[in-house]
């Protein structure tokens, strides 16, 4: 069995999609019309240095992920048995499963990026070399009480999220515990309690949309289980202020018999995470 995986924010780079825009001109045109600016210029030239800003990163990456999927399927590739995406990538997975069309998905992602960009004063850091349980224990210290876990990426890669000052305090504490602590180039404490107002605002946006049922099972970041039509809106909004459960997502897919994972989008971040998870889990076969 096979699963396609769509990457999220952090996988973008200037020049992404170069070979895709000419192949799918109608989608390029739709994207630029929806966004009100040239998606090609943003991705390839980035003359205003906007590609790293959340409100621009998210629609740009959604578009390039989608075009990568279109190229894959137009080449006659095998239909995947499951779909999953990391944070933003979950929206590409839902689009590929037919939950909404491309313009609707792009409008939704653009609004999500706009709302998330309004949160200021926070940051994130990757903690490498400690298990998730050990990271949890360290966060119980009073000095780190303001921090949450944002991403359970792999057994030795957990991302913490919260105020910048708390992130700065945490780095030497985790280094003394034997970890590498790497601040991430983000503008807000994504997937943490500090995104609750954004989560509520995004829930309102979702209520206004007519969403279909997934034609291919899509694994939710919030539960690490397949979305259902009944919980789709709720779980997509809850994703914003809760951790990405990527370890459990991959382990769920392995339990279903998935043996082949393919990353659909720029970079290979998720491919590396899958390799790390499979090296530690009992479900790797």
Break the chain into its structural domains and give their ranges: 2-118+193-280, 122-183
What's the CA gap between 56 and 50, in Å, rounded?
A: 6
Alpha-carbon dihedral angle through residues 145, 138, 224, 195, given to the nearest 10 degrees:
20
pLDDT (0 to 100) of residue 281? 67
Q: What percent of the chain is modeled with pLDDT above 90? A: 92
pLDDT at position 24 over 90: yes
What's the CA gap between 103 and 247, in Å, rounded?
A: 31
Please identify which residue in the block is written with the tokens 């095998």.
78
pLDDT (tens digit, 9 = 90+) per residue, 86-134? 999 999 999 999 999 999 999 999 999 999 999 988 999 999 999 999 9
CA 170 to chain centre: 24
CATH of domain 122-183: 3.30.70.250
pLDDT (0 to 100) of residue 282? 54
pTM (2 d.p.): 0.95
Backbone phi, psi, residue 33, to 5°? -65, -45
pLDDT at position 285 over 50: no
So which residues are the catalytic ones?
87, 191
Do strands 122-128 and 157-163 pair parallel, antiparallel, or not at all (unpaired)? antiparallel
pLDDT (0 to 100) of residue 284? 47
pLDDT (tens digit, 9 = 90+) per residue, 239-271? 999 999 999 999 999 999 999 999 999 999 999
CATH of domain 2-118+193-280: 3.40.366.10
Q: Which two tokens stand for residue 225?
A: 């289980």
What's the CA gap between 58 and 54, in Å, rounded?
A: 6
């Amino acid at each position: 069995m096979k699963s396609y995986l769509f990457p999220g924010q952090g996988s973008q780079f200037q020049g992404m999609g170069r070979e895709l825009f000419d192949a799918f001109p109608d989608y390029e045109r739709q994207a630029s019309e929806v966004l009100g600016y040239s998606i090609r210029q943003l991705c390839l030239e980035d003359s205003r240095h906007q590609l790293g800003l959340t409100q621009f990163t998210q629609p740009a990456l959604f578009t390039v992920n989608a075009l990568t999927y279109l190229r894959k399927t137009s080449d006659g590739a095998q239909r995947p048995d499951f779909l999953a995406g990391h944070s933003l990538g979950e929206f590409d997975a839902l689009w590929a499963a037919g939950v909404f069309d491309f313009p609707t998905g792009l409008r939704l992602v653009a609004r999500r990026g706009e709302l998330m960009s309004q949160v200021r004063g926070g940051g994130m850091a990757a903690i490498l070399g400690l298990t998730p349980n050990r990271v949890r224990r360290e966060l119980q210290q009073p000095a780190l009480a303001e921090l949450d876990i944002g991403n359970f990426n792999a057994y030795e890669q957990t991302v913490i999220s919260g105020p910048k000052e708390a992130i700065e305090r945490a780095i030497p504490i985790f280094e003394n515990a034997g970890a590498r602590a790497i601040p991430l180039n983000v503008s807000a404490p994504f997937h943490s309690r500090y995104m609750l107002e954004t989560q509520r605002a995004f829930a309102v946006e979702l209520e206004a949309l007519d969403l279909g049922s997934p034609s291919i099972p899509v694994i939710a970041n919030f539960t690490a289980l397949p979305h259902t039509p009944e919980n789709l809106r709720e779980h997509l909004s809850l994703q914003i202020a809760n951790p990405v459960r990527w370890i459990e997502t991959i382990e769920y897919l392995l339990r279903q018999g998935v043996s082949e994972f393919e990353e659909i989008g720029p970079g290979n971040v998720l491919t590396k995470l899958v390799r790390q998870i499979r090296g530690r889990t009992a479900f790797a076969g």
